[in-house]
Every structure is written in C-alpha cells, then in structure tokens.
Amino acid sequence: MFDKFKNDGEEMVEERIEENSNEDEIEKTEVNSSQIGIGELMGKREKLEDAIDYVGLMIKNLKDKRTLLEKDIEEESVDIKNLKEKLQKVSEYIDEENRGIQELANKRKQVETEADEVGIIINNLREKLSGVDKIIEEEGNRVKQVKESRDSIEN
C-alpha cells in the first residue's frame, strides 16, 4: 500500500542538490542537513504526510461506503416492514374468508337439516294423505255399495 512512498530520503536530498547546483550556499546547507539527517527526516515526514493523506482518503471512502450501506439497509428495512404489513393484511383476509366459509358451511348444514325435516314432514303428510285417500275410497266404495243395494232393491 505504501510502495509509492518507499523513496529513500538521501535520493531526495541528492535531487535537490543537483537542481540547485548553481547555488553553492544551498548545496552546503543540504549537504550539512544530509549529514545531520534532517534531509532524511524531512523526506520521511513528507512520505508520512502522503501516507496519512492516503489513509484519510481510504477512511473517507469507507465512511461513504458505510453510509451507503446504512441507507440501503434502512430502505430494505422499510420495504420489509411494508411487505410484512401487506402479508399480515393478506393473512387477516384469508382468516376472514375462512370464517365466512365456515359460516356458510354451517348455514348449508342448517338448510340441509331443515330440508331433511321438510322431507320428513312431506313423507308424513303423504302417508296421512294416503290414509285419508284410503278412507275416502273406502267411504266412496261403501256409498257405491249402498247406492247399488238401493238401486237393486228399488228395481
């Protein structure tokens, strides 16, 4: 990661000395600085500053990514909550429909029971009517017999 910062401090000092070769005074100062190690120290400080800037940029990028992730997670959370609410409403609708179907099944059973009772009543009434019809037929036959016997007596 810090490969670009691996330049030796001495090389930087030598470059400066070559650039400023026309000025003897500056050259002596840099050579003296190089001898004390200030040049190397300044080079290292520059590298460290560059590295710190690079790390700072990395940290900023990480913060930006984290912020985006937090935003995405929040949006997903809202979407999931909305979906959950919709599913709860669907579940409530299904439960309501099941209750309605159960009520209809109970009403159908009730109607079937009443239909069975009506069927029994009809059968009972048929039997009674058959009994009445039999009685009427028997009475009609008796009346005929009485008429026939009267007609035969009168003749």
C-alpha 89/C-alpha 92 separation (Å) is 5
C-alpha 16/C-alpha 25 separation (Å) is 13
| Cα–Cα distance list, 94 to 38, 89, 99, 107 (Å) | 82, 9, 9, 20
Q: 9 with 39: CB under 8 angstroms?
A: yes
1-55 tens-digit pLDDT: 444 444 444 444 444 444 444 445 555 555 555 566 788 888 889 999 999 999 9
87-146 tens-digit pLDDT: 999 999 999 999 999 999 999 999 999 999 999 999 999 999 998 989 999 988 988 888
Maximum C-alpha span of the chain: 181
Token pair for 91 = 């579940």
Q: Looking at residue 10, what is its pLDDT?
A: 43
Stated pTM of the model: 0.45
Q: 2 with 33: CB under 8 angstroms?
A: no
Q: Looking at residue 16, what is its pLDDT?
A: 45
At CB < 8 A and 24+ separation, what contacts does 69-77 make?
none
Q: Looking at residue 27, what is its pLDDT?
A: 52
